[in-house]
Structure 1
Amino acid sequence: MQLEIRPDPAEVGRARRWARARLAGSAIAADEPLAETLILIVSELVTNAVVHTGRPAVLRLCLPQAPAEEATVRLEVTDGSTRAPVPRWTDGDETGGRGLALVDGLADRWGWNREGTGKRIWCELDRHDASRAPAGGRPEGGAAAYQACEKLAYEAV
């Protein structure tokens, strides 16, 4: 599933609405914490692409097809800038600069790579059986717990 994003800050709201609509057809319930976390990360990554590049971007979601206690959601934003994403640490009074720090804190994994004449920023969020998650909410295994995207559904829109 993908959405083309124009270089306009109003596109951030459209990206959130689009992501919520995609969730409606997936195995992720709109009211589960994973869905809210996903929407927040969509907002942060699309905002970064729109504000910091001034170029069009593409938002992609890879969602589980069927209900499962454990699943991985992958989110990607591709833009036309080769500038590397750099997390910033800001003072409490600043109104911006926390997006990648939020992504780092909320996603199970994230990173970026060069993509043609631009870059792709990606993150993955895992859904886990809450009864098996250790204290702190993150499952054991870290990057080793990666599930290949082939197990997830893609849909072109």
Structure 2
Amino acid sequence: MARSGPSHSQHSLLDGQCSASESWCRTMESLGSAPADPVSYEGVWRFTAPAVEASVPSARHAVRDLLGRQGVPIEDDILQGLLLIVSELVTNAVKHAALLSPELAVEVAIAADWVRVSVEDNHPYRPTALETDYAQTGGRGLLLVKVVTAEAGGTCDVEHTASGGKIIWAALPLKTQL
């Protein structure tokens, strides 16, 4: 598959690990190809964190700081939705995958006109966004991710990894789609 868009100079936030996934390319193709010459903020960053509650705000802050440091021209409403998605995806990995996956990975891929965040864990269960009983105080995280992504004009999905785990990702435009 031919790749257009950012060069894949690998970057790291915390631990030096970085990779671009094939789903990154599919996401970019589905949202529209980036220009042949990448802009300065484009790239792919990956970091790992322990599957513990303290990783939720840490991941959210790391993504926010990365976007700011790279000078990504993202609208504030889209940014707030993206950060909510990061929190929900990391929370799901912590709550539901930590037993089989003591570490999770967060990847941020930025192109000229969109940003994709993904959370990877080693648990084989592939969750679905379910409507839940409104009397419950939890259980709507993936539904929220799906709604926030759709309202921003983006797309999201769950994919299996070669190692038997999963990647849950959401790709959003940098600007509101009219």
The aligned counterpart of 1:147 is: none
Mapped to 1, the partners of 2:80 and 2:50 lie a distance apart of 23
The aligned counterpart of 1:63 is: 110
1:22-55: per-residue Cα shift (whole Å, max 9, x none)? Answer: 1112343577111111100000000001110012
Match of 2:123 among 63, 73, 81: 81
Mapped to 1, the partners of 2:54 and 2:170 lie a distance apart of 23
Q: Secondary structure at the match of 1:62?
A: strand
Q: Secondary structure at the match of 1:25?
A: helix
- Identity level (%): 31
Equivalent AA in structure 1 for residue 168 of structure 2: I
Unaligned runs of 5+ in 1: 66-70, 134-157
Runs of 4+ in 1 over 6 A off after TM superposition: none
Match of 1:35 among 70, 75, 79: 79
Aligned CA RMSD, in angstroms, stands at: 1.8
Unaligned runs of 5+ in 2: 1-44
Alignment of 1:5-154 (within 5 A): 5-29=49-73, 32-54=76-98, 55=101, 56-64=103-111, 71-107=113-149, 108-115=154-161, 116-128=163-175, 133=178
Mapped to 2, the partners of 1:12 and 1:29 lie a distance apart of 24
Q: TM-score, normalised by structure 1?
A: 0.73
Pairs aligned (count): 126
Q: TM-score, normalised by structure 2?
A: 0.65
